[in-house]
Amino acid sequence: MAAIHSYLTFNGTCEKAFNFYKSVFGGDFPSVMRFKDVPSEHPLPEGAKEQIMHMTLPIGKNSILMGSDSPEVFGGDPVVQGNNFSVAVIAESEEEARRLFDGLSAGGKIIMPLEKAFWGAYFGMLTDKFGIHWMVNYDYENKN
């Protein structure tokens, strides 16, 4: 397994929170994607278009803090303390991603099936049988 990172979810305050974390930890944002910039099957209300779909802030040599907003239009559970974070597993191969996803989802709930995503990754989300949220990702381009 390549890495495990923390993934934080917000109700429209991701960018503000990450600017705060940047002021504490330093660094830059190598990745900032807004909902208006990605393909969507759902029409986005104006207020959701500028919200963060995905954002990263490297912290130290081997850790990345990742986050996003969760607009209601996508039908997920409301973001509250306790369900506002996930463990992001970065796999080293598709096979490892599948093995980890299948293992973690046993007895749990698949939120997004593991499949090829538009950003060049093999990605899926689930909640395990203990209520912990997981994201499993294998990035085809950056195999680190």
Tens-place pLDDT, residues 77-129: 677 776 788 899 999 999 999 999 999 999 999 999 999 998 899 999 999 99
- Which residues does residue 59 pair with via DSSP β-bridges, in sequence order? 63
DSSP state, residue 28: -
Q: How far apart are the first and last CA of the chain?
A: 10
Task: Please give the single-letter amino acid code of residue 108.
Answer: G
Structure confidence at residue 125 (pLDDT): 95
- The residues near 43 (Cβ < 8 Å, ≥ 6 apart) are 73
Task: Please give the single-letter amino acid code of residue 107.
Answer: G
Structure confidence at residue 76 (pLDDT): 61
**CA distance linking residue 43 with residue 21, whole number of Å:** 31
- The residues near 47 (Cβ < 8 Å, ≥ 6 apart) are 12, 71
